[in-house]
Amino acid sequence: MKKEAGGFGETLKTVFYAVLIAFGVRTFAYEPFNIPSGSMIPTLLIGDYLFVSKFSYGYSKYTVAFGLPLFDGRVLGRMPERGDVAVFKLPRDNKTDYIKRVIGLPGDTIQVVGGVLHINGQPVKRERIEDYVATGPNGREVRTTQYLETLPNGVSHRIIEETDHGPLDDTPVYTVPEGHLFMMGDNRDNSLDSRVPSMVGYVPIENMVGRAEFLFFSLDEGTRFFEVWRWPFDLRFSRLFDGVD
């Protein structure tokens, strides 16, 4: 009986330590997220699962305290770099997780003119490349104009544009306040981001959760994670362990 009790106690201890380690990793190191919308196409697809590094920008109450008012500001804070793909808490409610690309840093002016991004009064270079090809809901091929955009710090990434004359393709000049960032999606005509002040607007650096690092799983749109029987057919093998650029 003593042996059985000891065995049960050891099992409980092992489970406790495993949970503690998992909690510590998720809180201070890496947290998994999945992509529910197409605002970051072509970089991220609906059905992608990725790890976000919590330590990239330091720690805030949104990083380690689940939004509880335990402390203000950031500990070991570091400024995000222009071009980073990052998860943040939506300023409107400080709860909803959003993922976008860092475009504007504190003090920058941002404007979109005829679909072309301007940073500090200068147009950002974009180069027309091959169309982005996807399969529509009816199974037909859908092609969207795709560009390689190069930010002032040399970071290049792909964006898609259905048109250069949409509601977010000509904007006023935004001046990023101190302590805030300007975030945009790579699917420029289908992204609710800092270009819409009433919905997203400028993002406080304190709201940053972490930087997107790499994909660890990816399923075709419409396939849910628990539908294991569909994995052999709907798993996007080519995207596994891809870095997020």
Q: Is the peptide bond before 42 cis (omega within 30 degrees of 0)?
A: yes
What phi and psi values does residue 5 have, to the nearest 5 degrees? -60, -45
Question: Among 96, 172, 85, 157, which Cα is nearest to 124's?
Answer: 157
* Catalytic residue from among 39, 56, 60, 194: 39
* CA–centroid distance for 181 within its chain: 14
* Catalytic residue from among 54, 100, 194, 218: 100
Q: What is the DSSP letter of 239?
A: G
Question: What secondary structure does DSSP assign to 170-216, as a single string?
Answer: S---EEPPTTEEEEE-SBTTS--STT-TTTT-SEEGGGEEEEEEEEE
- Strand locations in the chain (E): 30-34, 48-53, 85-89, 97-104, 109-113, 116-119, 122-123, 125-128, 132-135, 141-150, 156-161, 174-175, 180-184, 203-204, 208-218
The neighbour count for residue 134, using CB atoms within 10 Å, is 16
Q: What is the DSSP letter of 37?
A: S
The first and second tokens of residue 101, run together, are 């690309």
Query: Does 39 participate in catalysis according to the annotation?
Result: yes
Query: Does 100 participate in catalysis according to the annotation?
Result: yes
Kindly list the strands in the beta sheet with 122-123, ordered across the sheet, starting from the edge strand earlier in the chain.
122-123, 116-119, 109-113, 174-175
Active site residue ranges: 39, 100
